[in-house]
Structure 1
Amino acid sequence: MKLLLLTLALASLGVGFAYNQKAPVLPDPKLSPGDVLTSDTAIICVSGYTKTVRNVPQSLKEQVYKEYGITSRESGEYEIDHIVSLELGGSNSVRNLFPESFKTMPLNAHVKDSLENKLHDLACSGKITMQEAQTAIASNWTAAYVKYVGPLPGGAQVIGSTALTVKVPVLPTPSPVPMQNTAQGSGSAADSALPNADGSCPNTSPIKVSKAGIYHLPTGDGNYQRTKAKSCFASAAAAQTAGYRGIK
């Protein structure tokens, strides 16, 4: 009886029973350390950018649930979250995905979303670098929340007082390359380049445009390697300006 009363008391205070044990609040760095597509604010901070790169098929989501040992779930209980969010330049790679609960209290997907929005605003306004934002959220988002937003809700403490050391891969920002012949579309010559003879793109203009008029990004896009480019662009924004679209 005393044990039952203690259990109820702790539950009422949100202590000890705040988290569903199978629902990770932090990702497992061995399974998903975080991964980025770009750190270029000229691309990331453009309105509508995330719609052009969001591409996580259901099969990949199921793979992530399986890797984390989640064999059953209620509707609306989880989302497959981007550790480094798309609005911070994160990729769709399985290395950047983990199952995040909406129902764990007081830390859950809604709380992390507010951090993502804050970091986006800070990085896009130049108050911190995009690389700083990416590394902070990939290392330990609860610690990043305290640093950039304020105290965690509900009196929660940072999980894992020693922040993980996670190296977030950052692609170099491509430099525009002048060319003599421009690809079809309205993009400028400085933002586009001719593909190599084997259908690949030069390192300075890695975005591939297929014959179907769809552009493909070098990371987080399963079709990238097998796509033979008809034209290449320095950034997704340049490809969009030229009239091409990303994968739906």
Structure 2
Amino acid sequence: MFKGAALFVTVLLCSTLSHAGENFPKGPDAALTPGVLCSHPDSYRYPEKIKYCERDVSSSTKAGIFQKYDQIGYRTRSMKRQAFKIDHYIPLCMGGANDVKNLWPQHESVYQITDQLEALLCEKMAAGRLLQKDAIQLIMEAKNHLDEVPEIEARVRAL
């Protein structure tokens, strides 16, 4: 038991130190936000009939997301709240859930890069030109590698 606790503290400390000096995450933290699909759908969408959950994230859940990210070394709560949105790592339009494992504090400098791609991916899903699994892979790649967004967007536009 003690070894496990020591390992947890070491991992937490390393994670915290790795974010030292960064005010906000540039992408979702893999441990806090691995991404989760909708399991209790309000409806089904697109030719593929993917599960769709209506947006439903409480203010207290949002506050908890900021707190968890700050616990690993970010400083989101000392910044202007208006500079952030709580983002669904797997977007709702792609079948993502309102679960804390699918939510992260996305800074405006990040969502200005990814939001257009997200809408385009969902548009292609609606047209039956892109499968859910492929759209999710692309948006996850984009949110973790912002520099690749223009290339990803060009590939998706060609579909």
TM-score bin (small chain): 0.5 to 0.7
Superposition TM-score, scaled by structure 1 size = 0.44
1:173-216 Cα shifts (integer Å, max 9, x gaps)? xxxxxxxxxxxxxxxxxxxxxxxxxxxxxxxxxxxxxxxxxxxx
* 1:81-139 deviation line (CA, Å, top 9, x unaligned): 1111111111100011000111x3xxx21221101101101122122211111122234
Equivalents in 2 of 1:78, 1:84: separation in Å? Answer: 17
Alignment of 1:59-98 (within 5 A): 59-69=60-70, 70-98=76-104
| Distance in 2 of aligned mates of 1:146 and 1:79 | 22
Maintained 8 Å contact 1:32/1:97: yes
Q: What is the CA–CA distance in structure 2 between the aligned matches of 1:109 and 1:117, rounded to whole Å?
A: 12
Alignment correspondent of 1:127: 129
Mapped to 1, the partners of 2:149 and 2:68 lie a distance apart of 26
* Matched letter for residue 24 of structure 2: A
Q: Secondary structure at the match of 2:86?
A: strand
* Pair 1:33-2:26 in alignment: no
Q: 2-side partners of 1:60 and 1:123: how far apart?
A: 29
Is the CA contact (8 Å cut-off) linking 1:88 and 1:130 kept in structure 2? Answer: yes
1:50-199 paired onto structure 2 within 5 Å? 53-69=54-70, 70-102=76-108, 104=109, 108-141=110-143, 142=146, 145-150=149-154
Equivalence for 2:24: 23
Higher Rg of the two aligned structures: 1
- Structure 1 segments of 4 or more deviating over 6 A? none
Question: Structure 2: how far apart are the matches of 1:84 and 1:116?
Answer: 10
Secondary structure of the 2:62 match is: helix
TM-score, length-scaled by structure 2 = 0.66
Task: Give yes or no for contact 2:138–2:152 (8 Å, CA) kept in 1.
Answer: no
The separation in 1 between residues aligned to 2:111 and 2:134, in whole angstroms, is 21
CA–CA distance in structure 2, aligned partners of residues 143 and 75 of structure 1: 25
Of Structure 1 and Structure 2, the greater helix share is in 2
1:136 maps to amino acid: L
RMSD over aligned Cα, in angstroms? Answer: 2.8
Which amino acid in 2 is paired with 1:21? Answer: E
| Change in CA separation of 1:44 and 1:143 when aligned onto 2, cut-off 3 Å | farther
Give the paired residue count: 123
Question: After superposition, what is the alpha-carbon deviation per residue over 1:16-35, rounded to whole angstroms, capped at 9, x for unaligned?
Answer: xxxx9221121111110111
1:208 corresponds to: none
Where 1:43 maps in the other structure, the secondary structure is strand
8 A contact 1:78–1:99 mirrored in 2:
yes
**1 CA distance for matches of 2:123 and 2:152?**
11
- Give, in angstroms, the shift of residue 146 of structure 1: 3.6
